[in-house]
Amino acid sequence: MSGLGAGIRLALAGKRVILLEKHNTVGGLNGYYYRHSCKYDVGLHAMTNFVSRGGGSKPFAKLCRQLRLPYEAFQLAEQIRSCIHFPHTKLYFNNDFELLRSEISQKFPSCIDAFDQLAKTVIELNDTALSGTKFISTRAHLKDFIKDNTLREMLLLPLLYYGSAHVNDIDWRQFAILFKAIYLEGFARPRGGVRTILHLLREHYRKLGGILRVKTPVVSITIENNHASEVHLQTGEILRAHQIFSSIGHRETLRLLHSDNTIPSDAQTLSFLETITTLSGPPRMHNWHNTIIFYNDFTSVHYATPETCVDLHSGVVCIPENYQDDTSQTNTTLRTTHLANYDAWKSLSHAEYPTTKQHYLLQSRQKAFTILGQSSKAKPIAEDIFTPLTVERYTGHIKGAIYGHPNKIRDGNIGLTNLFICGTDQGFLGIVGALLSGISMVNHHTLQSK
């Protein structure tokens, strides 16, 4: 996504651009695939940052303007409602911030003024500044606003799952970005899923003259005097470019520069297990009225790599077709996400790996049915699962790090004159975030600096 964002922005500025993708299609962490004649989105639960047409200076409106794409082309359908599900309390929210406010004033009446103050502070924060990368602990800072532990944890849960690369915490600026993206703006889904967006971006890029090469892995990059002079492809070709934007991750890029695998994977990386189940009948037939449920079995959130393969005590249950005005669905997709342990999956034998996958697929689905308040009688017509090893294989992220390295490089600068980081390790996450990351890196390093 960030590569496409950067590519379109460069092509719009009249640059000659080539986009190199190692897989057979674009999309990365948010692509799509076919299995047993079923179409699946790899990642898409929802697109954050919903705005109605117009949208002023909001990120999604900015994205449309910067890429010169009409708002309607994304074909967005708004979420119905989402839920934060804790042992004794539920908080509902949708794309109207007033719903969350009224939930908090009913269920945590003593905290509503503090919540309003928090929202005001977040709105005023310049969270997209490219300077000042020092980590500020949200867990510590949030206590200055919200005194109730349960409310603090409830507000944190969706934001951790949708964008924190930090164990048990999230950077304050990242918290602000996600608070706006999820609570103040909200969720929507393009009709047709992630394909709609990818098709739109790819065709726009091509029409602007951008070249796309799929099945073309970059195997190394030569550096001379802090200048990236040559890009070596697996095909044996060598490319030279004035500028290079790398969306594969910081450590992953360093590995290409040094042509070896010795760049340490030092930081604790967080990875996920994701399951997909298709059930017959539309979501309403199952009486499911939420789009996304973020659940936690305890009153505090433990957002860390589990000891075992998967931690089912918290997670996301998503019904990605459960959107307003969408009456065309004949089946229901149920997706679940949980924290998972890369090393535990990696240590399984060839025989154990598929059986462990199957075990957790069933456990996770059972858990989702419990959260949805439904018996597990509904028979799946298709199912799939992916583990941290799948994430690593299909994205190249070391140890399947879903949100990359915890330390983000906001200005994309890694000490080279003409190679910059964009995407996950630059720090803007999700579909909208990744696209804006590509855009802002090009604006900063190509357009403004000239």
Ligand X SMILES: Cc1cc2nc3c(=O)[nH]c(=O)nc-3n(C[C@H](O)[C@H](O)[C@H](O)COP(=O)(O)OP(=O)(O)OC[C@H]3O[C@@H](n4cnc5c(N)ncnc54)[C@H](O)[C@@H]3O)c2cc1C
CA dihedral 412, 415, 420, 424 (to 10 degrees): -40
Q: Closest approach of Cβ 300 to ligand X, in Å?
A: 24
Q: Cα dist. 436→202, 257, 273, 407, 430 in Å?
A: 16, 25, 26, 19, 10
Other Cβ atoms within 10 Å of 286 Cβ, number: 18
Q: DSSP strand E in 90-184: where?
A: 90-93
Q: Which is nearer to ligand X, 89 or 133 (CB)?
A: 133
Q: Closest approach of Cβ 447 to ligand X, in Å?
A: 19
Q: Are strands 38-41 and 32-35 parallel, antiparallel or unpaired?
A: antiparallel
- The amino acid that residue 296 corresponds to is N
Distance linking the first and last C-alpha atoms of the chain: 25
x/- mask, ligand X, residues 348-367, rule CB under 6 A, reads --------------------
Which of 10, 12, 17, 29 contacts ligand X by CB under 6 A?
A: 29
217 binds ligand X (CB under 6 A): yes
DSSP-derived secondary structure letter, 443: I
286 binds ligand X (CB under 6 A): no
Which of 7, 9, 19, 22 contacts ligand X by CB under 6 A?
A: 22
Which of 200, 421, 431, 439 contacts ligand X by CB under 6 A?
A: 431
Task: Give me the phi and psi of 227, to 5 degrees please.
Answer: -120, 130
| Among the residue ranges 94-102, 282-290, 389-397, 410-418, the one whose residues contact ligand X (CB under 6 A) | 389-397
Q: Which is nearer to ligand X, 115 or 342 (CB)?
A: 342
The alpha carbon of residue 221 and the mean position of all alpha carbons in its chain are separated, in whole angstroms, by: 27
248 binds ligand X (CB under 6 A): yes
Q: Closest approach of Cβ 102 to ligand X, in Å?
A: 26
The alpha carbon of residue 329 and the mean position of all alpha carbons in its chain are separated, in whole angstroms, by: 25
Per-residue burial over 433-442, b if 16 or more Cβ lie within 10 Å, else e, is bbbbbbbbbb
What is the number of H-type helices and E-type strands within the chain?
13, 18
Q: Closest approach of Cβ 114 to ligand X, in Å?
A: 29
Categorise residue 133: left if φ over 0, alpha if ψ from -120 to 50, beta otherwise.
alpha
Q: Closest approach of Cβ 116 to ligand X, in Å?
A: 27
269 binds ligand X (CB under 6 A): no
Q: Which is nearer to ligand X, 66 or 247 (CB)?
A: 247
Q: Which is nearer to ligand X, 150 or 406 (CB)?
A: 406
Which of 430, 439, 441, 446 contacts ligand X by CB under 6 A?
A: 430
x/- mask, ligand X, residues 76-95, rule CB under 6 A, reads --------------------
What six digits make up the tokens of 210? 């951008």
Which of 11, 12, 30, 93 contacts ligand X by CB under 6 A?
A: 30
Task: Give me the phi and psi of 145, to 5 degrees please.
Answer: -105, -55
Which residues, 406 to 425, sit near ligand X by CB under 6 A?
Answer: 423-424
| Among the residue ranges 21-29, 78-86, 237-245, 410-418, the one whose residues contact ligand X (CB under 6 A) | 21-29
| Among the residue ranges 91-99, 129-137, 373-381, 429-437, the one whose residues contact ligand X (CB under 6 A) | 429-437
2 binds ligand X (CB under 6 A): yes
Q: Are strands 18-20 and 211-213 parallel, antiparallel or unpaired?
A: parallel
Q: Which is nearer to ligand X, 274 or 311 (CB)?
A: 274
46 binds ligand X (CB under 6 A): yes
Which of 23, 199, 232, 302 contacts ligand X by CB under 6 A?
A: 23
User: By the criterion CB under 6 A, which residues form the site for ligand X?
Assistant: 1-3, 20-23, 28-30, 43-48, 217-218, 247-248, 272, 274, 391, 395-396, 402, 423-424, 429-431, 434
